[in-house]
Amino acid sequence: MFKADTINLETVSPIDEDARLVEAAQATPANFKPLYQKWLNPVYRYFYFRVGNEKDAEDLTSQVFLRVYEDLPRYHNHGCFSAWLFAIARARAIDFYRKRDREVALLAAEPLADGMDLFDQTARGDELRQVFELIHQLSPAEQELIRLRFVAELNYREIGSLLHRKEDSVRKAVSRIVERLQMEVNHD
């Protein structure tokens, strides 16, 4: 039996899901937890690959979610919660680097352990170091596109909204960067 107010989560877009989660959290602050749980890992990964260590990534992530929690009542849904969230994250990263006057290159970030055996982890680490070295050679803007797309796992629309660029422009830019990286990896 179908109810008019039933939502099939398989057909709900991530942006529609975010709007629903934001609305619930704005109505009742106790409903913030599902929104937090959905975005915790992407925000943490974004910071981890910006700062290169767990402690600072955890601190920055907690600062972002505290700010989101405090500002959520004033947030007005314009269709892309993730862009708003990552605008806060990017501002925190900028503040972090201003205070420390440094930025850790992607190359300096240690790969996150994921339960592989030592041989596989070493081989994967070597491959990751090669990719990180290539990414380190990209411009800061290109590095940011890679972080937002593959570390934070934002879609092209979300990145476009965050960076004030057209979705298609972001898609093409990321594709060109990935193609260049693939050519370099395959060339070696």
pLDDT digits (tens, 9 = 90+) for 128-174: 788 888 888 999 999 999 999 999 999 999 999 999 999 999 999 99
The answer for residues whose C-beta is within 8 angstroms of residue 57's C-beta and 6 or more apart is 44, 47, 48, 50, 51
The domain limits of the chain are: 14-187
Given a cut of 80, whether residue 73 has pLDDT beyond it is yes
Q: Cβ distance 80 to 161 under 8 Å?
A: yes
Helical residues (DSSP H) of the chain, grouped into ranges: 14-27, 32-51, 54-71, 81-100, 118-136, 140-146, 156-163, 167-187
- Convert the pLDDT of each residue in 11-33 to its tens digit: 556 668 999 999 999 999 999 99
Question: Mean pLDDT lowest for which of 10-14, 45-49, 86-90, 135-139?
Answer: 10-14
Go through 74-109 and write b for each residue having 16 or more CB atoms within 10 A of its CB, e for each that does not: eeeeeebbbbbbbebbbebbeebeeeeeebbebbeb
Distance CA 74, CA 144 (A): 27
167 CB neighbour count, 10 Å cutoff: 14
Q: What is the dihedral of CA 76, 79, 80, 85, to 10 degrees?
A: 10
* Average pLDDT rounded to a whole number, residues 65-86: 91
Q: Which of 90, 79, 84 is nearest to 141 (CA)?
A: 90
